[in-house]
Amino acid sequence: MRAADVIYYTFHVQELRSIVQWKIWHHPVHERDPEKESVSLRVCFELLDQTSRSFSAVIQELHPELLVPIALFYLILRGLDTIEDDMTLPIEKKVALLRDFHTINEKEGWSFTGSGPDEKDRELLVQFHYVTEEYRKIKPVYREFINDITRKMGAGMADYCNKAAEGNAGVETIEEYDEYCYYVAGLVGNGLTQLFVESGLANAALKDRPQLQKSMGLFLQKTNVIRDVREDWDDKRRFWPTEIWSKYVDNFEDLFKPANQEEALNCSSEMVLNSLNHADECLFYLAGLKEQSVFNFAAIPQAMAIATLALVFRNPDIFKKNVKMTKGVACQTMLDSTQNLSKVCEVFRKFVRQIHKKNTPKDPNFLKISIACGKVEQFMESIFPSQNPQALVRQEAPETEEQKREREEAKWDIIYMLMIVMGTLFVLSVIMIGIAWLVGARFDLAFSELKDGNWRSLGKDNARKMAAKYDRGEL
């Protein structure tokens, strides 16, 4: 842990407690057994770890029926994404690869070494023959679903690359923005839903609700687009639609100028509003998942998305750097979103209220954002009413001994954590002072000067005078 982290968590003990709880108390619903896997499948999971540690951890806790299909699904789409992002590939070659990538899954021994040397996930394509080898082993119906989504996504990416090559890399209308987000994330929601339902781990009715599937992907992608605005702009990419940002500035780059901070914040508010409109449908979708590991897999990203949305809302830092939530907040959010839908609703309620609290009447989107927040809360209230006979009885009933004990345990957990942190800082301080003393530090001189009232920095001249004052001629 870095020194800055030690200082931060000294004053945010609750977040430190969340990290410790996640590390100690989180137990996977299912655990994969590498000993029973083929060499090629183990390589696939190694590639999964390399491409995304966060997604890899959640995928590897999935039900055995879906573990391998979804892991391969992720790697195939990541391979597709790697080709789209590679700016060293000639446009003709890139477009051809994107349009034909769905056929590559069936090709034995296929790999690609033409990616640029600095491409982050280049190794995935170099060793892609391991992915295709395992892909051919899964159930035909799963292959059909994965192949269909890969074909549609590749075609959408190819169209976008052609558009960018013609000098029109930006997104113009909100409709185009929705279409782009659908191709890169909404289609993933479609594919996963088909896998969930086919495996019997989700309600079959979800297949008949394409809008819910679409919202799951769009909510995630739109939140990422808002958060990554600075990083994308530095890479000469623009995903915020002209239809939105042109209301606030004349040129997109004006959003990053300090003089336009208020206009930039109002623009980002409308982007958040656009994303927030999908939140209630995401919760509706989660209600259709029947198996715990599948629920966790779908709920964690959505909970992290609403937390990120609250973080970026009216946050000027998004125009300066890539903003991320702290590890403590992330761990607490994951803890709360891996239990049941009621808990996930509480997570959404907490962060929606943070957005509502940060909303300001100076923002032209103030009323619409307030309505959007109210819409989410109203939906949660419709499935989990806060006022019901049982709740009222619990409110009126006195605190039980068990509740008192749990409250006391929580209080002492925080106290113990604080004591550990302070104790660690004390021990480190003693060690550092001891080392300084051993190598000859003259603390007696420092104390003497402080006693004389010299609290400020000595400077070179004063340092020479001090050295002469304490000089020992015999040495």
Rounded Cα gap, residues 438 and 318, in angstroms: 47
How do the residues of the chain divide into helix, strand and coil, expressed in percent and rounded to 5? 75, 0, 25
5, 38 in Cβ contact below 8 A?
A: no
**17, 227, 248, 351: the active-site residue:** 227
Rounded Cα gap, residues 240 and 249, in angstroms: 13
DSSP 432-475: HHHHHHHTT--HHHHHHHHHTT--S--HHHHHHHHHHHT--TT-
What's the distance, CA 176 to chain centroid?
Answer: 24
**143, 237, 314, 353: the active-site residue:** 237
**180, 196, 219, 248: the active-site residue:** 180
DSSP 421-441: HHHHHHHHHHHHHHHHHHTT-
DSSP state of 207: G
C-alpha distances (whole Å) from 165 to each of 95, 158, 160 are: 11, 10, 9
Q: What are phi and psi of 289, to 5 degrees?
A: -95, 125
Residue 33's Cβ-count burial label (10 Å; 0-12, 13-18, 19+) is: exposed
Other CB atoms within a 10 A radius of the CB of residue 161 amount to 18
| Active-site residue flag, 180 | yes
Rounded Cα gap, residues 37 and 59, in angstroms: 16
Rounded Cα gap, residues 3 and 7, in angstroms: 6
C-alpha distances (whole Å) from 46 to each of 34, 38, 43, 259, 312 are: 11, 13, 5, 47, 33
Which residues have C-beta within 8 Å of that of residue 388, sequence separation ≥ 6? none
| Active-site residue flag, 227 | yes
HSE value, Cβ hemisphere, 13 Å, CA-based, for 241: 18
Rounded Cα gap, residues 316 and 311, in angstroms: 11
**Length, in residues, of the chain:** 475
**55, 145, 297, 313: the active-site residue:** 297
Which residues have C-beta within 8 Å of that of residue 206, sequence separation ≥ 6? 193, 196, 197, 212, 213, 285, 288
Catalogue the active-site residues: 180, 227, 237, 297
